[in-house]
Amino acid sequence: MDYQFAAIEQKWQKFWAENQTFKAETNSSKPKYYVLDMFPYPSGAGLHVGHPLGYIASDIFSRYKRLKGFNVLHPMGYDSFGLPAEQYAIQTGQHPAITTEANIATYRRQLDQIGFSFDWSREVRTSEPSYYKWTQWIFMQLFNSWYNLETDRAEDITTLIEKFNAAGSANIKAACDEDVKTFMPSDWATFTDEEKQVELLKYRLTYLKESTVNWCPALGTVLANDEVKDGFSERGGYPVEQKKMMQWSMRISAYAERLLQGLNTIDWPEPVKEMQRNWIGKSVGASVRFAISTENSQLKTANFIEVFTTRVDTIFGVSFIVLAPEHELVQALTTEAQKEEIAKYITQTKKKSELDRMADTKTVSGAFTGSYVINPVNQELVPIWIADYVLAGYGTGAVMGVPSGDQRDWLFAKHFNLPIIQILDAQKDIEVEADATKDGKYINSGFINGLTYKEATENLNNWLEENGVGKAKINYRMRDAIFGRQRYWGEPIPVYFKDGLPYLIKEEELPLLLPEIDKYLPTESGEPPLGRATDWSYENRYEYELSTMPGWAGSSWYWYRYMDAQNGNKFASKDAIAYWKDVDLYIGGSEHATGHLLYSRFWNKFLKDLGYVNEEEPFKKLINQGMIQGRSNFVYRVVDEEGKGTNTLVSYGLRKEYKTSALHVDVNIVENEILNINKFKEFRPEFANAEFILENGKYICGVEVEKMSKSKFNVVNPDVLIENYGADTLRMYEMFLGPLEQSKPWNTNGIEGVFKFLRKFWRLFHNEEWVFHINDSVPTKAELKALHKIIKKVQDDVERFSFNTSVSSFMIAVNELTDLKCKNRQVLEDLVVVLSPYAPHICEELWSLLGNTDLSNTAYPTFNPAYLEEAEFAYPVSINGKMKMNLNLSLSLEQDQAVEIVLANEQVQGYLEGKTPKKIIFVKGKIVNIVV
RNA sequence: GCUCGGAUGGUGGAACUGGUAGACACGCAGGACUUAAAAUCCUGUGCCCUCAACAGGCGUGCGGGUUCGAUUCCCGCUCCGAGUACCA
């Protein structure tokens, strides 16, 4: 029979499902291997060809690892809480759970069609109560924990209470809020329960905090920093404003250093690590307190300004201090004379939008407060300014201005005519621009004069600490993550309020179910949608938290649930966690670099601190698959003089001769840029009677790369390709497209080549009449060579995730075996095994036709290098590095013998034209190069 | 601006440690089969010169360098993509 892909694929998909072929057993004598895909959000649009790219790669890898004797865990699930289902619910009143369920069914059908080897018995859905029970449970653990900087790990809150009881708060080293109280053990004993709770909340790893949040009125929700782009929401592009709100936060900043250091232990793409490093934003420097000169200040209490600097060595070069306009001391520092100017500047700053501020980095602006600080190292008076180049949200919101060493400070000083003091003898041209050099010796710098950078920094840090005016300090850019959304379709936070203070519900009361509500909108009083729930309170008395968890909650631990997905008593059993440990290979898009991948590492470290999991890092190796872009096709409609479209369409090559407007055309009715005119008339009935101006009898379409989207008619649906060519062709073609990690536009041109390959492969096992036909003869040397070449090539390629090159090599192998008329059982059986991770259906079918069973648990053939050994090699002979000819020589020949034969060769002599070779390079098995 | 990628035929791409650039496909051209088309098969296909072959010249974004030899290593640029954005 000819290659009947549809029947074969259905047969084997059914077989795998019925036999649970890919069910992974926890505990096995085989070594474990955990291959994870980033689970999808099941959107209403279903899968397009870009989605499965990473899944196909991970599936090939999983199937390959199974053949190599590993116990492979390869699960799949759904990140099923999220905004689109809720937007849809708002519009239609349909419960998000219902749309989500329907979307998941579509996803499942589409995934099944591609023939993935997922262990579906471990499927998870983040919106299922049996799953989010454990998301809520982890939240409770975070609430019940604090970060002890002495042990450098999270601990149960009871250890903190013990410390308070024993010694008060004086010697506590913890990651906590800034406004914690200082108290004695005796004070603690007299605190009321409420007072204790207020204080403890400042230490908990998830805590309530009045935060300035990114409030998006159009979405009616708060957005995380990474969901805001240039002052607009990433989803929808609605304007975002700053608003103060009580919000749950996650104290991820406690883990900043560990998150940074951990990057050195994992095998991730360098750009992702770099993004995380930037996000964490560690800078090593010092904090310095500048006392405020009392002369004209109205300040009584806070009598200093604290700045953070990475160049404490430049402190003798300070000629001004700049505060962010939002800095809390600005009003108090402003003198009567400067009031008007400062007020004007602040208004002006407020008017500037985020975008303006960014576009406008070159204009220098600022205003003088009229007050001065005293530089602690030399007692000089330094003027205090405000300027919007200083950000309130970073460091202390105040910087020391050193114009000779920092270009922004230099511009500021020039503009406002402030002194520029040279501090290092190696600084050059500081009248022209700042020179940030660390070379040379200090000058004009009091007690550090003559020292080098390193000496000066150490010296100053010590001096500051001894004099109580500062100390060495490490600053991180990363802020705590806001952990609440004013939304319906998310995990309820397992918290209720009593006298305005948050308390956890009891563990046995989990899960706290999402209540039913009448509409998925905020309440009239502006409370989140959960405020609409009736009869929803804790113990019928206390109000529940009305925010739900953000999108990243459920995805921050899901890989552990796969280890033991059905467990009703724990998020996963100790045994399962001890066996599967961590994810060996994680494949997904780089858009999650600073969101999901950072939060997941944070929760993982936290769970490890509490002893629930064993590994410090969850994902050992990460691969980013490239984005598949859309590739749009266009037709060109001739436009008349008034600019109105006519009924004539002109082919791409001739469009310049007319006035035209380009129209998107469905890429699925275009093949190799040639338009199928009949289908086009169906696609756009208004052109049913259109005239087509053709070139060479064809209508050629224009092409452009754009985002893949319905409105651009460039969405290619895998279902259609599977119908026409089968899943095996789709899988191989997606890999054949190019390196996995590279972004590329989808182009269906060329899929025929892969399909033809599979037919040719099928034909290897059949005679002219399509009857299955193989023999049991002894394989020839040439057949074995072709086979072992591919055995080696595929194992090398898969191990380095170079799937595209294997596909080419398969084609070469099949071409060679076809030319050899190979019908040999031994060779073909091994070939089936080697190809099976890529094209599992056709291989299962042939495997069973060969009389075998259980392909998935067969061993990958052993490579035997002896079959590749050659006695001779066609050496390329080059003259002065230019390849001229090939010469067959025995590989046993050493340099001297080889050179002798080469020089004796008539053709070589011809090339030499009588000249004597100066030098002859001979690399065994590679090349002969004659230099004349 | 900074950081990280990338640039190879008409197209997707290959060349893994410096050793025959363009594998494998697509497309295109020609041919076979066919009443015809589709499918299939065969041949050719980097560019230039040449009727053609032989031979030759040029060729991996651009300009230099190291080397017997560079798509690969080094220096300096151009362009494209991604991330980030006054971080003190």
pLDDT digits (tens, 9 = 90+) for A842-851: 999 999 999 9
Which nucleotide lies closest to A811 by the C1' atom and the CA atom?
Answer: B24
Which nucleotide lies closest to A874 by the C1' atom and the CA atom?
Answer: B20
Per-residue pLDDT band for A301 (boundaries 50, 70, 90) equals: low
Per-residue pLDDT band for A362 (boundaries 50, 70, 90) equals: low
Which nucleotide lies closest to A411 by the C1' atom and the CA atom?
Answer: B86
Sequence ranges of chain A with CATH classification 3.90.740.10: 282-476
Nearest CA to A580 out of A607, A620, A553, A610 is that of: A620
pLDDT digits (tens, 9 = 90+) for A40-75: 999 888 888 888 999 999 999 999 999 999 999 999
pLDDT digits (tens, 9 = 90+) for A657-673: 888 888 888 888 888 78
Q: Where are the beta strands (DSSP E) in A477-529?
A: 481-482, 495-498, 501-504
Nearest residue, CA→C1' of B28: A672
A700 in Cβ contact with A674 (< 8 Å): yes
Nearest residue, CA→C1' of B87: A394
> How far, in Å, is the CA of A271 from the C1' of nucleotide B82?
10
- Strand B bases within 7 angstroms of protein beta carbons: 3-5, 11-16, 19-21, 23-29, 40-41, 56-57, 68-70, 81-88
pLDDT digits (tens, 9 = 90+) for A496-513: 999 999 999 999 998 999
Q: What is the CATH number of domain A5-130+560-623?
A: 3.40.50.620
Which nucleotide lies closest to A387 by the C1' atom and the CA atom?
Answer: B86
Q: What is the pLDDT averaged over residues A874-896? A: 83
> How far, in Å, is the CA of A652 from the C1' of nucleotide B47?
25
Structure-model confidence comparison of residues A230 and A815, the more confident one: A815
| A732's tokens | 């191989």
Which nucleotide lies closest to A356 by the C1' atom and the CA atom?
Answer: B86
Q: pTM, whole model, 2 decimals?
A: 0.91
Between A154-158, A355-359, A624-628, the lowest mean confidence (pLDDT) is in A355-359
CA-CA distance, A138 to A205, in Å (whole number)?
11
Per-residue pLDDT band for A246 (boundaries 50, 70, 90) equals: confident
Q: Where are the alpha helices (DSSP H) in A800-876?
A: 803-819, 825-835, 840-849
Sequence ranges of chain A with CATH classification 1.10.730.10: 721-867
CA of A655: how far to CAs of A646, A665, A694, A698, in Å? 14, 16, 10, 14
Answer yes or no: is A710 a known binding residue. yes
pLDDT digits (tens, 9 = 90+) for A371-409: 899 999 999 999 999 998 888 878 888 999 999 988 889
Per-residue pLDDT band for A206 (boundaries 50, 70, 90) equals: very high
**DSSP string computed for A3-25:** --HHHHHHHHHHHHHHHTTTPPP
Query: Is the model's pLDDT at A355 over the cut of 70?
Result: no
Nearest CA to A488 out of A307, A811, A219, A842 is that of: A219
CA of A769: how far to CAs of A1, A510, A577, A759, A762, in Å? 8, 65, 54, 14, 13
> How far, in Å, is the CA of A740 from the C1' of nucleotide B30?
37
At residue A221, what are phi and psi to the nearest 5 degrees?
Answer: -150, 170
Q: What is the CATH number of domain A721-867?
A: 1.10.730.10
The pLDDT of residue A657: 81
Nearest residue, CA→C1' of B81: A743
Query: Is the model's pLDDT at A913 over the cut of 90?
Result: no
> How far, in Å, is the CA of A762 from the C1' of nucleotide B26?
21
Nearest CA to A627 out of A589, A586, A585, A587 is that of: A589
**Domain A282-476 class?**
alpha beta
> How far, in Å, is the CA of A925 from the C1' of nucleotide B64?
33
What is the CATH architecture assignment of A870-931? Roll (3.10)
Question: What is the ipTM, given to two decimal places?
Answer: 0.94
A385 in Cβ contact with A330 (< 8 Å): no
> How far, in Å, is the CA of A103 from the C1' of nucleotide B48?
58
> How far, in Å, is the CA of A391 from the C1' of nucleotide B86?
8
Query: Is the model's pLDDT at A215 over the cut of 80?
Result: no
For chain A, the average pLDDT equals: 89
Nearest residue, CA→C1' of B24: A808
The pLDDT of residue A354: 52
At residue A667, what are phi and psi to the nearest 5 degrees?
Answer: -65, -20
